[in-house]
Structure 1
Amino acid sequence: MFGGGGTQKGLMSIVYGGIVFAIAMVFIVQFRPGSGQETASLTQQCAVTVRDRCVEPKEFLASLGLAAPRGADENRLRAMGIRRQLADGVVERTLLVQDAKRLNITVSEDEINAELVKGRFRVSLPQARRDLAFYLRLQDEGAEGVRLLDVNNPDNGKFDYKVYSRVVRLTTNRSPSEFKEMQREEIIAERMRKLVASRASVTDAEAFDAFQREKSSAKLEVVRLDRDYFATKYVDVSPKSVEAWAKDHGKDIDESWTARKSSFPAGCVKARHILVQVQSTTVPQGHPREEAQSLIEKARTRLSKGELFPVVAASMSEDSASAEKGGDLGCIAKGKYPQAFDDAVFAQKKPGLIDTVVETNYGFHLVDVELIVSDDAAKAEAQGRMQIAKELMLSFETEKLISETAKRIQEAAQKGTALAQAIDTVLAQLDEERGLSKKKDDKKKDDEEAPPEPGRPYVETTASFSLVDGNPIDGVMQGQNVVEMAFRLTKPGEVGSDLVRLKNGYAVIQLKERKSVTREDFDKERNDYLSRMLYVKQHDLVVSYVEQLRKAAEKEITIAEKWVQEPKRRGGDSDEEE
């Protein structure tokens, strides 16, 4: 019995070997250079040129056929710019093949045939956009840029050359021999990518450090000091105070006036606005009318409750150019804005919020008039100078006040006072210094009845964050790394030694929570973490290598715009040649 089994095993080996040989012979005969009838070429055209290599439109469209097979979502493909992405992929493939020649890296006929009989057809994507492989479903067994197609006989499940040939022609419009040469380059390019990627490595210490940075976390308690709040409540900008300040800062005012005098033409009106866009043919991105009305009323309500106009404008106005400046439009000359806006602004007899909502073709506006400049040139200059003096004074004095107040809160917290208590104590002292303190009975009544004062500093808690996350606080000035500042703190309750500079003020930070990972935590995830890190390093290394190849050949790379322009939407003409 055992002897018979051995004979059967030997017979099966012979049969299997015969099948492999037969398949190989088909590929040798059918795919030899010059065999078969090639499809018609588009003469003297190159979709992509890299040095002396011309990638003809037919070959480029073959890549398109593999990447985006028939039935794919055309709108999605158009949105991702599939043609240009594939052109970049073809450029990179060609550069890698040319570099492989320099390194004497090749691929054998058997290796090519082994991929083709499995229906594993490759197409190059830009290395920096390998994510496209996921969206295009160009993945097989972990390999990216692979389209797996069925080339087997439906009756016996075995490779069938006729099926294979039909699939190739339907998918790529290429003859088998043309397609094989295309796949030869694809496989060589992939071999180059693997060779470059093999140079990447990750040490245990490097992985543990990255693990700590990603998995360790912190939470902060934050006190924001808003510049607008302090400027409005504590800085006296009465004409008398501004005139007194101006006497000591004449040089600053003169320099600023010289630079800005054209901003104060006679008869102009200095104003701020909040815009909520209403949907129309000219403003298609606007809100439906009822929704816009609701939003503008919400802004009015916030203003009526005491919130500062610049604060509400910054958070609600849909005029992006002025919103970041608190809705500031500068000093408006008549005729600059729509008629309805002009009429409302120039009808105002004194500074203040215009009572009604102004409607223009842009949408709904709330307008706050800050200064009405005289039609007389001499008076206009005097008003302009005084306005500049007011703005300079407000800026200088607010900056000094807010930084000093932040430091006082910080120092109180560093000495052990709870942040909330530090805020109350310091602001009560500031109220007293500025003559704003109330009698105890009045204060008790206010505390019982009044809502929180808009803009007043309070304690807020951030979400948990790690060393690889972005700043956990909104509105941080460029160059301020709050994450690193937080992770320099080691114990809950510890207060940051530096103030955080915000776009509109300062912040005091205190560590609320700190969680650190251990070596034991790392060891539980070590293998998976090392694998992920290695994958990322390999990817980055190949991206860098390809970028160097492109840079070296940048003057010898041409992509014909005709072939990377996305076709018009269905129903329109297309420039694609079938």
Structure 2
Amino acid sequence: MLDVFRQKGLTSAVYGAVIVATVLVFVINFNPSAGKKLGSISDACAAKVRGNCIEPKAHRAAYRLVFSRGAPGMRQAQASRFVLEGMIERELLIGEAERLGLTVSEDEITDSIFKGDIYVSLPSENPNVGAQVGFPNGSTNVDRLVPNGYKNKDTKQFDMKIYERTIKQLVNRSPAEFREWQARELLAAKMRDLVKAPIRVAEDEAFDKFVEERSTSTVGYVIVRKGWVEKYAISTDAREVDEWAKANPAKIMVPVRHILVKGDKEKADELAAAKTKAEGILERVKKGEDFAKLAQEFSEDPGSKDKGGQYPGEQVENFVPEFKKSVEGLKPGELDQQLVQTSYGYHIIKRDPATKEDILKAYKGGKSDDLARTIAKDVAADMKSGKSADDAIAAAIVKYAKFTPKVERRPEAAGGDAGADAAAAPVEETFTPDKDPTRPQVLTSSAFNRGGDPIPAISHDATESIVKFAFEGKPGDVAPEPVKTDDGYIVVSLKEQKAASREDFDKERDTYAASLLAAKQNEALAYYVRRLRESSKQEIKVDTNNLFGAPKGDGGASRDDEDDE
């Protein structure tokens, strides 16, 4: 049986409680440096932690060790900050280790050097990033860079010259400086081990977690696509389109224009001057002057100034609330008669007039969404009443598919050789509503677990709701509501559930329990460090001017990835 299952008695419980209590007391209450004023950060420090300086040279060396194989998916500034956060965490842990009386012996340091170990602290909050760059399970040993442990290839013995040369190349440190580096990393590692030591995984807990993670479900689903609805179920009669447009002006997407006059709320004189200027421009617009030309002349928004103040209507959703509210209250072609104040200053806002194409596009989009939802609800209701999904779909197609799309004839070629042109041109295929590839139809997912994606190309929220239903319902159930997607609505039914068995667990017991223990230990460490950082936040100072990779405008120009010799 696993060691993690052995110590479940009273002694283990008491020991764990004592350690956790001790650790939390030191984090929450015992902060001898609290209130101590730090001077301004030194030019020679990338960061100061409780008065201890993290030199830019050390930070750059750690960066090269961690990202020796590159920084996949991260900008240089992000990778640089990631490394610095690990070094800040190291200094905080060292402070706690020293207060608890932990030490690192000279023999421990020497042994680690002889083995070729090189330790670098990584942030406990981001173990996945460490795994991506070659540090699985939060390991901080970069021994892969010294696979032979500084040994002479002929004598197979430790070679001081090789050691000095390698350390200089890797971290630009002398042997004495590297020994100090290694000592600090080893002490921080001891503190991490102390925090992790009380964590245990009971066998029942491991089995329950295994069942939760490895059990699977399979769902069936009916997709009602807006494209099919638009094609077969919506009338484009001019009167209906016009009535819809009058009732839903805000849904007609037309370009939005604005003129921005910047003003700082914190500076009353500047804000008043901006308002006066904006009022004058608004009056000129009201008198009929060309909005686009005024925007090009006066607007202080670089993103739209050269385009006559224009933004696509779809972008309004991402704008500040005051701007968005103004646009939503305007019909196509209307001007807001009042200035709109936001954190940027004062805006003059107008919606462009809607073309027939704009109105028809909005009508089709709005009607197809509404009707797709209605059809999906009908299909779901029929399935709940006992109909098969196929029968429910067939009934919906008969009920709602009332129109046949027109297929335009291609004009005959000059000279009357229509047969030759027809043979050369691609044939446009036509379908009936019940044969169209986009029609409502039944599909089945693959088996998935609680972390899976049962249906491709749907949103995270939609996936979460389907997974929740799939593991909380019972086979035969139909989801209470259709699930909205970008393309329409989905009716979901639960086909099968398969629970992971004790036999499955027994095959993986040791490895699974060990991985669960490691995950719990990392969670405990991350929580501990968060509390430690919170209690020490006044004593952590970062100077991005001295931080390798800091972008221009965010604390300093970028620096070359080289140490000063």
What range is the shorter-chain TM-score in? 0.5 to 0.7
Query: 2: distance between equivalents of 1:449 and 1:389?
Result: 27
Shift of 1:449: 8.9
2:208 aligns with 209
Shift of 1:233: 2.8
- SS of the residue 1:49 aligns to: strand
Query: 2: distance between equivalents of 1:554 and 1:498?
Result: 47
Asked if 1:412 corresponds to 2:382, the answer is yes
| 1:147 aligned residue (143, 147, 172) | 143
1:424 aligns with 394
| 1:106 aligned residue (81, 103, 108) | 103
2:549 aligns with 565
Shift of 1:192: 1.2
- Counterpart mapping for 1:486-501 below 5 A: 486-491=470-475, 493-501=476-484
| 1:90 aligned residue (73, 87, 91) | 87
Shift of 1:522: 1.7
Query: 1: distance between equivalents of 2:69 and 2:85?
Result: 21
- SS of the residue 1:549 aligns to: helix
- Counterpart mapping for 1:42-81 below 5 A: 45-64=44-63, 66-67=65-66
Shift of 1:216: 1.5
Asked if 1:485 corresponds to 2:485, the answer is no
Asked if 1:577 corresponds to 2:564, the answer is yes
Contact residue 254 and residue 312 of structure 2 kept, 8 A? no
Contact residue 133 and residue 145 of structure 1 kept, 8 A? no
1:121 aligns with 118
Task: Report percent identity of matched pairs.
Answer: 28
Shift of 1:222: 1.2
Asked if 1:225 corresponds to 2:224, the answer is yes
Residues 127-146 of structure 1 show CA distances to partners (whole Å, capped at 9, x for unaligned) of 3444565565568x995334
Residues 111-158 of structure 1 show CA distances to partners (whole Å, capped at 9, x for unaligned) of 22332232322122233444565565568x995334263234545434
CA, structure 1 residues 227+136, in 2 after alignment: closer, same or farther (shift >3 Å)?
closer
- SS of the residue 1:92 aligns to: helix
1:460 aligns with 443
Query: 2: distance between equivalents of 1:449 and 1:406?
Result: 20
CA, structure 1 residues 136+261, in 2 after alignment: closer, same or farther (shift >3 Å)?
closer
Contact residue 221 and residue 509 of structure 1 kept, 8 A? yes
1:531 aligns with 514
* 1:488 alignment partner AA: E
1:282 aligns with none
Which consecutive residues of structure 1, in runs of 5 or more, have no partner in the other structure?
A: 1-42, 267-319, 326-371, 374-380, 437-445
Alignment length (residue pairs): 406
- SS of the residue 1:421 aligns to: helix
- Counterpart mapping for 1:25-424 below 5 A: 45-64=44-63, 66-67=65-66, 83-130=80-127, 143-147=139-143, 149=146, 150-161=149-160, 163-242=162-241, 252=247, 256=250, 398=368, 401-424=371-394
Residues 198-250 of structure 1 show CA distances to partners (whole Å, capped at 9, x for unaligned) of 2433333332232222222222221111234324432334233356678xxx7
Shift of 1:50: 1.6
Query: 2: distance between equivalents of 1:184 and 1:395?
Result: 65
CA, structure 1 residues 541+119, in 2 after alignment: closer, same or farther (shift >3 Å)?
same
Query: 2: distance between equivalents of 1:430 and 1:130?
Result: 53
Which consecutive residues of structure 2, in runs of 5 or more, have no partner in the other structure?
A: 1-41, 258-284, 289-310, 317-331, 334-350, 405-428, 552-558
- The structure whose RCO (Cα within 8 Å, separation 6+) is larger is 2
Contact residue 87 and residue 559 of structure 1 kept, 8 A? no
Query: 2: distance between equivalents of 1:511 and 1:161?
Result: 67
* 1:144 alignment partner AA: T
Residues 270-310 of structure 1 show CA distances to partners (whole Å, capped at 9, x for unaligned) of xxxxxxxxxxxxxxxxxxxxxxxxxxxxxxxxxxxxxxxxx
Query: 1: distance between equivalents of 2:243 and 2:173?
Result: 86
TM-score (norm 2): 0.59
Contact residue 471 and residue 481 of structure 1 kept, 8 A? no
Residues 516-565 of structure 1 show CA distances to partners (whole Å, capped at 9, x for unaligned) of 22222222222211111111122222223223333333443214444412
CA, structure 1 residues 191+573, in 2 after alignment: closer, same or farther (shift >3 Å)?
closer
2:297 aligns with none
User: Comparing 392-401 with 202-211, which one deviates more in the overlay?
Assistant: 392-401
Over alpha carbons, which structure has the higher Rg?
1
Contact residue 380 and residue 478 of structure 2 kept, 8 A? yes
Shift of 1:457: 0.9
User: Comparing 49-58 with 228-237, which one deviates more in the overlay?
Assistant: 228-237
Contact residue 221 and residue 443 of structure 2 kept, 8 A? yes
- SS of the residue 1:144 aligns to: coil
Query: 1: distance between equivalents of 2:251 and 2:453?
Result: 40
Contact residue 226 and residue 488 of structure 2 kept, 8 A? yes
- SS of the residue 1:507 aligns to: strand
Query: 2: distance between equivalents of 1:224 and 1:160?
Result: 69
Query: 2: distance between equivalents of 1:213 and 1:90?
Result: 36
* 1:463 alignment partner AA: S
Contact residue 196 and residue 524 of structure 2 kept, 8 A? yes
Residues 431-458 of structure 1 show CA distances to partners (whole Å, capped at 9, x for unaligned) of 4xx588xxxxxxxxx9999993253211
Shift of 1:188: 0.7
Query: 2: distance between equivalents of 1:477 and 1:129?
Result: 22
Contact residue 130 and residue 144 of structure 1 kept, 8 A? no
Residues 461-515 of structure 1 show CA distances to partners (whole Å, capped at 9, x for unaligned) of 2232111224525335846611111223433x44334322334432212233332
Shift of 1:186: 0.5
1:509 aligns with 492
Query: 2: distance between equivalents of 1:399 and 1:77?
Result: 37
User: Comparing 165-174 with 541-550, which one deviates more in the overlay?
Assistant: 165-174
* 1:412 alignment partner AA: D
